[in-house]
Structure 1
Amino acid sequence: MSELWPAPRPRDRVDAVVSLPGSKSLTNRALLLAAIADGPSVVRRPLRSRDTLLMAAALTALGTGIDDTGGEVSREGAGDWAVSPGAWDRDADVDCGLAGTVMRFVPPVVGLARGTVRFDGDAHMRLRPVGQMLAALTELGVRVDDGGRGALPFAVHGSGSVLGGTVTIDASASSQFVSALLLAGARYERGVDVRHVGKPVPSLPHIEMTVQMLRSHGVEVDDSDANRWAVAPGPVRAVDHVIEPDLSNAAPFLALGAATGGRVTVTGWPGSTTQPGDELRTILALMGCEVTLSDGGLTVVGPDRLAGVDLDLHDVGELTPAVAVLCALAESPSHLRGIAHIRGHETDRITALATELGRLGADVTERDDGLDIRPAALHGGTFHTYADHRMAHAGVILGLAVDDVLVEDVGTTAKTFPDFATAWSRAVHGTPAAAGAPAGTAL
């Protein structure tokens, strides 16, 4: 059985200032675009976590040079990442771990390489959807061998070039299907014209993030029509990126203020961003929090009692675990909907949340596309995480208001937030960090 971690409960109203590590979504997009750019560049303030190290390892295996400004790439390094495009002329094995961005973003660029690249990952990754994207790659001229599974493990046989062109896909399971094709598309002979058919694409802000980053590299993208994104063929200009703090990882820390009636400030919050986590400002205000954005960061002051909400989280599904727990602590019922796609995330998050919250006393009804949550008396116990970092965030938030919550495998948070448990304990108990403390600490 995985180790159980006692979720800390604050002694009083919290007053904390928190600095967060960089965005995983931005870091991995920046690394991939730098790897196919027309010259060397630097990714500044990158996130160093399991997901981003897996992306760096995948691109390095293909022949890209990625180095810490102070030495070899590592989790412990504190510098920026210098990226030098190289000759992609070798066979390689890529470990996707639990990183959807590695499983989906790397295969479309492998078609530009010369060699066979084999993909696999953690056991649960073999259940995550990727078949629509692999079929699209085949249609665009990339040779893919997945044994007809439409899932890991699979191999991509690069020929050094990809014809590209128009392709129609159903991206209702993941916006990453679209982003993956767009990120590589400029390097295809005919570019790429992606057309979505099916239920609405989830997490549209992540596609907007991809489009914005492509344009910053000088790539021409036409997104003027709904459900269609066209990337013109041409070079990907080398540019340096400064990575924003990960706003989705801010969710548990802002919840710390919301759930305790305390005050939490997350420093470095951008005034304008494509990150879905920015929607936390609106969600927490609806739940009764005082939310203020200033030069010092985003500050949330919690109310005496949280209000329930009726929310469509379709575009920001990754926020569901944190929001669901706050709803379980609210004084009135909540309805979370539009999130059927999160059943295909690191775990089936709808069922997992209904199961774990229900196990600890919450009154929860699981719907096909969401959750209904009503006020109920909660109690302690084990909160299982299913190797899902967002479920671990949910568990520690519950522990803010409920005694004796034991979070299984809190270390799974290293997927996107190294040493989360230490940063969380410092924020909850108001322990000052040392001068010059790294991102991800309470200040």
Structure 2
Amino acid sequence: MRARVRLPGSKSITARALVLSAIAAGPSTLRYPLRARDTELMAAGLRAMGAEVDSGQDERWTVRPGRLAGPAHVDVGLSGTVMRFVPPVAGLADGPITFDGDPHARQRPLGPLVDALRSIGVRIDSADTGGLPLTVHGAGGVTGGDVTIDASASSQLVSGLLLAAPAFDKGIVVRHVGPPVPSAPHLRMTAQMLREAGATVDDSTRDVWTVEPGGLSGRDWDIEPDLSGAAPFLAAALVTGGQVTVPGWPRTTTQPGDRLRELLTAMGGECALTDDGLVVTGTGAVHGLDADLSEVGELTPAIVALAALADSPSRLTGVGHIRGHETDRIAALARELTGLGADVTELDDGLELRPATLHGGDFATYEDHRMAHAAAVVGLAVPGVRLSDIACTSKTMPEFPELWASIVEGTH
């Protein structure tokens, strides 16, 4: 395989830019945003509350802040960013804002955020679990102040509070108490983007984040390519002994997906960051890996797929939090790969894999885009792998089926 894959915009950066733009003092522009189910739901939710979000052009979205008010309804789909970033903004609205989503969304961790918002004066009605469905009774503002939260289930629980905090009367001081917060690079991304919008942020103390109250400026946001979305395409270079180039790979970034360079090198690939982008070349072998993936949980399915094809054992840990993603990804990966003949042991916080001969069969994706990516990677080397559903990739990359087909056929 020799392919060049131009990736869509980063979901994480697009989502944060939309929220910051909706509470800014003036209009903003998002250049090359991600158009996918998650970001469309984010735009629709903010639009329902009163922000003007024009997403008519693929390469340029505009956001004009408006008076936030209810009654309104926000469909979160299966999106963690929507269910965790928008409720704090809803506290600023005048009137009730209801939230619900796909059936499995009701099982995703949300309770710590709800409790934190209640502790700073936001009135919320929630399900008995503390999650969806819920209603935020916006009072036209949020007092803010000190918050203690256990964010060990998701860094988004902290990011959601921080993104809206400049509009809180007292800003916010968030203290995490509990096991380590996963996906810490996403918190650095949140802090950096807040600063770029004009907020004063202090994240110098471990597990403490302070955002001062103050107005945000409207601005132009240049959305980087989605580096996590590159995982299956770059993994393909290793599986096929070929070469895949991703143009526009940033020299410096807060995206956790940049760690792919390190991980793929350790698994037998050659990675070069050039003026043209990132070039990954397979060497004809895929090696096992012993790694803590706690900061890059979203990469786990693609890395596990590679590990299932590797010539030596792998132990991938630190990702207990991905049991609360679109599906229990640890259990799902173990179940589906075992069904294809892989030698997999499920751990509390990860997976162990040993070399085995795989065979074709059905691979359930559980409405989870990353599971579909994993199945696609395995299918490069194992004939007859049948995905139960490829449409789920529309969550973050609607063009995935066409992109994948084109690189496999050598036409892209």
Please report the TM-score for the alignment, with normalisation by the length of structure 1.
Answer: 0.92
Q: In 2, Cα distance between the equivalents of 1:171 and 1:345?
A: 14
Report the counterpart of residue 254 of structure 1 in structure 2.
Answer: 234
| Aligned mate of 2:249, from 239, 249, 269 | 269
Unaligned regions of 5+ residues in structure 1, if any? Answer: 1-13, 432-441
CA contact (8 A) 1:265 1:297 kept: yes
Q: In 1, Cα distance between the equivalents of 2:225 and 2:399?
A: 16
Report the counterpart of residue 34 of structure 1 in structure 2.
Answer: 21
- Equivalences for 1:21-60 in 2 at 5 Å? 21-60=8-47
One-letter code aligned to 2:295: D
Q: In 1, Cα distance between the equivalents of 2:255 and 2:290?
A: 22
1:329 counterpart = 2:316 = no
* Matched position secondary structure for 1:16: strand
1:19 counterpart = 2:6 = yes
Tell me the CA shift for residue 148 of structure 1. 3.3
Tell me the CA shift for residue 418 of structure 1. 1.0
One-letter code aligned to 1:59: L
Q: In 1, Cα distance between the equivalents of 2:328 and 2:50?
A: 35
- Equivalences for 1:107-256 in 2 at 5 Å? 107-256=87-236
| Aligned mate of 2:384, from 394, 404, 411 | 404
CA distance 1:405–1:147, change in 2 (3 Å) = closer
Tell me the CA shift for residue 236 of structure 1. 1.1
One-letter code aligned to 1:16: A
Tell me the CA shift for residue 419 of structure 1. 2.1
| Aligned mate of 2:348, from 361, 365, 368 | 368
CA contact (8 A) 2:69 2:95 kept: yes
Cα deviations by residue, 1:5-54 (Å, 9 ceiling, x for unpaired): xxxxxxxxx01111010011110110110000010110111110000000
Tell me the CA shift for residue 147 of structure 1. 4.0
Q: State, as a whole percentage, how many aligned pairs show the same letter.
A: 59
CA distance 1:307–1:79, change in 2 (3 Å) = closer
| Aligned mate of 2:400, from 420, 428, 440 | 420
Q: In 1, Cα distance between the equivalents of 2:286 and 2:402?
A: 27
Tell me the CA shift for residue 78 of structure 1. 2.5
**What is the CA RMSD across the aligned residues, in angstroms?**
0.8
Tell me the CA shift for residue 346 of structure 1. 0.4
One-letter code aligned to 1:272: T
1:379 counterpart = 2:359 = yes
Tell me the CA shift for residue 428 of structure 1. 1.3
* Matched position secondary structure for 1:46: coil
Q: In 1, Cα distance between the equivalents of 2:147 and 2:410?
A: 53
Tell me the CA shift for residue 89 of structure 1. 2.4
Q: In 1, Cα distance between the equivalents of 2:269 and 2:260?
A: 11
1:345 counterpart = 2:325 = yes
Which structure 1 residue ranges, 4+ long, deviate > 3 Å from structure 2?
none
Q: In 2, Cα distance between the equivalents of 1:216 and 1:311?
A: 33
* Matched position secondary structure for 1:249: helix
One-letter code aligned to 1:379: H
Q: In 2, Cα distance between the equivalents of 1:148 and 1:400?
A: 44
Which piece of structure 1 moves more, 23-32 or 147-156? 147-156
Cα deviations by residue, 1:369-409 (Å, 9 ceiling, x for unpaired): 11000000000011110000000000000001000111111
Report the counterpart of residue 437 of structure 1 in structure 2.
Answer: none
Tell me the CA shift for residue 288 of structure 1. 1.2
Report the counterpart of residue 7 of structure 1 in structure 2.
Answer: none
Q: In 1, Cα distance between the equivalents of 2:61 and 2:351?
A: 41
CA contact (8 A) 2:33 2:58 kept: no
Q: In 1, Cα distance between the equivalents of 2:70 and 2:303?
A: 45
Unaligned regions of 5+ residues in structure 2, if any? Answer: none
Q: In 2, Cα distance between the equivalents of 1:413 and 1:379?
A: 24
CA contact (8 A) 1:51 1:99 kept: yes
One-letter code aligned to 2:334: A
CA distance 1:161–1:426, change in 2 (3 Å) = same
Report the counterpart of residue 297 of structure 1 in structure 2.
Answer: 277
Tell me the CA shift for residue 237 of structure 1. 1.3
Structure with the bigger RCO (C-alpha within 8 Å, sep 6+) is 1
- Equivalences for 1:57-136 in 2 at 5 Å? 57-68=44-55, 73=56, 77-136=57-116
Report the counterpart of residue 435 of structure 1 in structure 2.
Answer: none
